[in-house]
């Protein structure tokens, strides 16, 4: 096995540890341990979530100085891309304090805060014009109930753009989507085709969705 192969294997091993986590704190602990090597590992597997989410944002949400929430910001990869695409006012949250420390080094965020998706967030109702989430709504990570809070903090007419992966992608997400539609809280706008989020190492199928808050 080459050194490059070893790095790729390490990245997917830690991803699978996170998928198997039994609680949000356990997932956060995995990412705390991984934080210093995370970006290099994910580059080695061709990680596509941040680019896919940013592409769907650029397709539907004109660049502006309005506030954006990066929910599950990690080390700030998505925030770095959005900042370069002229979405400069970004607030990030993540369950892993170790990942947030790396994100803070990039200076792309107005604020970074340690919070857990699936719990009540500290933001007021109708705060953000855009909420993004990359690689977060998946097995062993944030529960789909976290979408309720993201809808709450998004203003009427604002957008949610997020990836859905693994066991959430079909039945569970479809149920959550229909629930929020029946409550007249959001409306479907667009979805990407399905894609492999780690094409250089594994097959982890995902899809990016765009909704507009009512």
What does the pLDDT read at residue 3?
45
Residue showing tokens 């062993």:
140
Residue 21, pLDDT above cutoff 80: no
Specify the pTM: 0.91
What does the pLDDT read at residue 6?
46
3-class DSSP assignment, residue 113? strand
Q: For 24-54, how does the pLDDT look when each residue is reduced to its tens digit (9 = 90+)?
A: 788 888 888 889 899 999 999 999 999 999 9
- Residue 53 makes CB contacts below 8 A (sequence gap 6+) with 78, 132, 133, 134, 161, 162, 163, 208
3-class DSSP assignment, residue 205? strand
How many CB atoms are located within 10 Å of the residue 185 CB? 16
Tally of domains within the chain: 1
Please answer whether residues 197 and 186 qualify as being in contact, where contact means their C-beta atoms are separated by less than 8 angstroms.
no
- In whole angstroms, what is the distance from residue 104 CA to residue 163 CA? 23
Domain interval for residue 24: 3-213
What does the pLDDT read at residue 212?
98
Rounded to a whole number of angstroms, the distance between the first and last alpha carbons of the chain is 52
Here the CATH number for the domain that contains residue 139 is 3.40.50.150
3-class DSSP assignment, residue 211? strand
Q: Which residue has the higher pLDDT, 32 or 108?
A: 108
Q: For 114-167, how does the pLDDT look when each residue is reduced to its tens digit (9 = 90+)?
A: 999 999 999 999 999 999 999 999 988 899 999 999 999 999 999 999 999 988
Element (H, E) at 175: helix 171-182
What does the pLDDT read at residue 23?
77
Q: For 53-107, how does the pLDDT look when each residue is reduced to its tens digit (9 = 90+)?
A: 999 999 999 999 999 999 999 999 999 999 999 999 999 999 999 999 999 999 9
Pairing of strands 111-114, 154-165: unpaired
């Amino acid at each position: 096995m080459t050194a490059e192969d070893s790095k790729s294997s390490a990245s997917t091993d830690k991803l699978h540890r996170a998928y198997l986590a039994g609680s949000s704190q356990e997932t956060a602990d995995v990412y705390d341990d991984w934080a210093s090597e995370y970006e290099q590992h994910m580059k080695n597997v061709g990680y596509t979530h941040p680019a896919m989410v940013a592409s769907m944002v650029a397709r539907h949400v004109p660049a502006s100085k309005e506030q954006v929430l990066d929910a599950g910001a990690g080390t700030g990869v998505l925030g770095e891309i959005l900042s370069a695409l002229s979405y400069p006012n970004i607030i990030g949250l993540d369950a892993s304090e170790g990942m947030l420390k790396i994100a803070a080094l990039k200076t792309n965020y107005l604020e970074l805060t340690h919070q857990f998706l699936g719990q009540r967030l500290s933001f007021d109702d109708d705060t953000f014009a855009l909420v993004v989430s990359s690689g977060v709504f998946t097995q062993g990570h944030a529960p789909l109930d976290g979408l309720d809070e993201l809808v709450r903090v998004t203003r009427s007419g604002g957008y949610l753009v997020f990836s859905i992966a693994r066991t959430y992608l079909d039945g569970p997400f479809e149920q959550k989507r229909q629930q929020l539609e029946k409550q007249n809280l959001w409306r479907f706008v667009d979805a990407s085709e399905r894609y492999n989020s780690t094409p250089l190492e594994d097959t982890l199928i995902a899809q990016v969705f765009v909704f507009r808050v009512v």
